[in-house]
Amino acid sequence: MSLSEETIKKIADLARLELTPEEHTLYSKQLTAIVDFISQLSKVNTDGVAPLVTPTEMAQSFREDVVGKGFEPGAATSNAPQNSGNLYKVPPVL
């Protein structure tokens, strides 16, 4: 089952990835092959089987509601490509 160029475009949009036309074509082919390969999973009978997310059984962890140490002043924006004081600056959102 081939992934159409339109599907590729939609996925790239959802994933916010700008692709070159070459990447579009290449990924369309490669992803089709991968998805086809993965489809073999439908052959496995999974009736009544609960999905497994965390593979190791372990007890749950919580935090107490106590304020802890966060960023030192300025650390939050120390890697920001653009900032205004300690705020992140980006091109217009609306």
Q: What whole-number distance in Å separates Cα of residue 67 and Cα of residue 76? A: 17
Contacting another protein (CB under 8 A), which of 1, 4, 7, 21?
A: 7
Sort 8 into a burial class: Cβ within 10 Å, 0-12 / 13-18 / 19+. buried
CB of 74 to another protein, least distance (A): 9
> Of the candidates 2, 3, 4, 6, which one interacts with another protein according to CB under 8 A?
3
Nearer to another protein, 25 or 33 (CB): 33
| Residue (of 36, 31, 39, 33) closest to 9 by Cα position | 31
For helices 21-38 and 5-14, give the axis angle rounded to 10 degrees: 100
- Report the site for another protein in 11-70 (rule: CB under 8 A): 11-12, 14-19, 23, 27, 30-31, 33-35, 37-38, 40-42, 44, 46, 49-70
Phi-psi region of 4 (alpha: psi -120 to 50; beta: other; left: phi over 0): beta
In whole angstroms, the minimum distance from the beta carbon of 22 to another protein comes to 11
Interface with another protein by CB under 8 A: which residues?
3, 7-8, 11-12, 14-19, 23, 27, 30-31, 33-35, 37-38, 40-42, 44, 46, 49-73, 75-82, 84-94
